[in-house]
Amino acid sequence: MEKDKNFWFGKRVLITGGDGFVASHLIKSLINKGAVVVATVLYKKPISTLEIIRGKRHQIDTIFHLSASSIVSDAANSPFSAIENNVMGTVNILEIARINKIPRVLITSSDKSYGDHATDSLENIPYKENYALRGLDVYSASKACADVLAQTYSYQFKVPIIVARSCNIFGPGDLNFPRKMF
Ligand SMILES: NC(=O)c1ccc[n+]([C@@H]2O[C@H](COP(=O)([O-])OP(=O)(O)OC[C@H]3O[C@@H](n4cnc5c(N)ncnc54)[C@H](O)[C@@H]3O)[C@@H](O)[C@H]2O)c1
């Protein structure tokens, strides 16, 4: 996505889940590169994502969709809300991107979308991009669903989407202590 070192200068970026661990580092990095960043956060919501996108004020050209119910154990304790947040939250962003013809969209999936291929004789680890997605727990299933829907919007509606399936990220400011166990 980054073609040159000035690529992000002046870009107008929406980041969902702006107070999260990864998003906060991303926001800092993008601002340092001269991007104009607008972020949504869960608990202080003066305006909706749709208003941000459609409003003439922001003219978003890039979306990083990072918001999620991101803790495996929390998702297992509240399957309905985790699935709704992770799947329909992503559909919301995909629809906004489709309707408003947003030129760049990144959807965060997870390596957990692959499930556990360690004991699979045909598809074993390390993961390959064309491996089947599996949901072996509620969080992973919700990310796999969002991942597939992002592919659908890319294929059917030609929304320019990148899906990132990263493994566990670590660094300063990660307050999600239960995740350290996985
Ligand atoms: N950190 C990792 O190791 C890792 C690995 C793979 C994928 N991911 C994915 O990357 C993304 C970011 O992960 P993270 O580690 O920063 O998680 P995080 O929990 O620190 O950040 C997610 C943020 O989203 C916010 N949020 C949840 N629902 C929201 C909503 N409806 N509207 C607005 N904000 C909402 C939460 O309050 C939280 O601040 C997530 O989608 C996660 O599933 C993370």
For the chain, which residues make up each domain, given as ranges?
Answer: 12-181
Whole-structure pTM value:
0.93
> Comparing C-alpha atoms, which of 140, 135, 171, 134 is closest to residue 69?
140
End-to-end CA distance of the chain: 30
Which residue's alpha carbon is at the smallest distance from atom 25 of ligand 1? 17
Alpha carbons 39 and 143: distance in angstroms, whole number: 21
pLDDT exceeds 70 at position 182: no
| Ligand 1 mutation pick, 66, 170, 175, max ligand atoms within 8 A of CB | 66
Specify the CATH number of the domain 12-181.
Answer: 3.40.50.720
Most confident of 35-39, 48-52, 175-179: 35-39
User: Is the CB–ligand 1 distance for residue 108 below 6 Å?
Assistant: yes
